[in-house]
């Protein structure tokens, strides 16, 4: 499956978030390959977005949001690693949070990493999917536009689906805009 080019991420974060739905997240772990379909995302901006990690300006830990699009940006919240992909037009700031996946390949391995048997609980949340795919700070900054990366995003199967939008989840201060997107009716979406 073809990876998405960097130009895909060099656009408005909300647009990238919307279009990442249905794409594949591929995790390479030695000889194992895990993959899942992206079914839920959220867009974050920079200085104008109070919920954004970049709100208070550039720091070492959020530097990636200011740099090249198409890199993984990973941080810890409440004991969970959350996966973002840096996305913004050149010279701007932003990222897309991956909130939920539909497991495709390596389900048994995901179950082992998660320590649960319930198929529907494997990747139905931002903290759950990182554990299922063994995503940690070590992958911070990896290039998801490189097919050889330990983490990459590729084209999806191309089936059609309806997209829903809503306000972001769990944030202190949300913006007026609806910046959360998900596939309607998909059972792995964290909250319908």
Partner DNA sequence: AGGAAGATCTACT
Partner DNA sequence: GTAGATCTTCCTA
Q: What does the binding site for DNA look like in residue numbers (CB under 7 A)? A: 42, 44, 51-53, 56, 59-61, 75-80, 82, 84, 95, 97, 114, 116, 121, 125-128, 137, 168-172, 190
Q: How far apart are CA 86 and CA 73, in angstroms?
A: 6
What whole-number distance in Å separates Cα of residue 171 and Cα of residue 169?
Answer: 6
Q: By the 8 A CB rule, do 84 and 171 touch?
A: no
Q: How far is the CB of 89 from DNA (least distance, A)?
A: 18
**In the complex with DNA, which residue's Cβ is closer, 147 or 177?**
177
Tokens standing for residue 101: 């996946």
Helix (H) or strand (E) holding 124: none
Minimum distance, C-beta of residue 116 to DNA, in the bound complex (Å) = 6
Least separation, in Å, of the C-beta of 42 and DNA?
Answer: 6
End-to-end Cα, the chain, rounded Å: 29
C-alpha span between 30 and 22 (Å, rounded): 25
C-beta of 4 vs 95, nearer to DNA: 95
Cβ closer to DNA: 90 or 172?
172
Nearer to DNA, 56 or 147 (CB): 56
Q: In this structure, what token pair is assigned to residue 183?
A: 């596939």
Minimum distance of DNA from residue 41's CB (angstroms): 10
């Amino acid at each position: 499956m073809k990876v998405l080019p960097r130009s895909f991420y060099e656009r408005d974060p909300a647009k990238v978030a919307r279009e990442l739905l249905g794409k594949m997240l591929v995790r390479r772990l030695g000889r194992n390959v895990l993959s899942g379909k992206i079914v839920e995302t959220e867009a974050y901006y920079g200085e104008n977005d109070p919920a954004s990690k970049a709100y208070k300006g550039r720091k070492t830990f959020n530097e990636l949001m200011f740099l090249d699009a198409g890199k993984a940006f990973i941080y810890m919240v409440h004991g969970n690693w959350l996966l973002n992909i840096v996305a913004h037009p050149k010279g701007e700031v932003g990222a897309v949070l991956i909130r939920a996946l539909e497991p495709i390949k390596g389900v048994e391995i995901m179950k082992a990493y998660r320590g649960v048997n319930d198929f529907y609980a494997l990747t139905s949340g931002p903290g759950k999917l990182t554990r299922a795919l063994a995503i940690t700070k070590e992958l911070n900054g990896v290039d998801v536009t490189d097919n050889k990366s330990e983490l990459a995003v590729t084209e999806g199967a191309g089936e059609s689906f309806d997209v829903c939008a809503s306000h972001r989840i769990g944030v202190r201060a949300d913006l007026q805009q609806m910046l959360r997107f998900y596939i309607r009716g998909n059972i792995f979406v964290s909250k319908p």
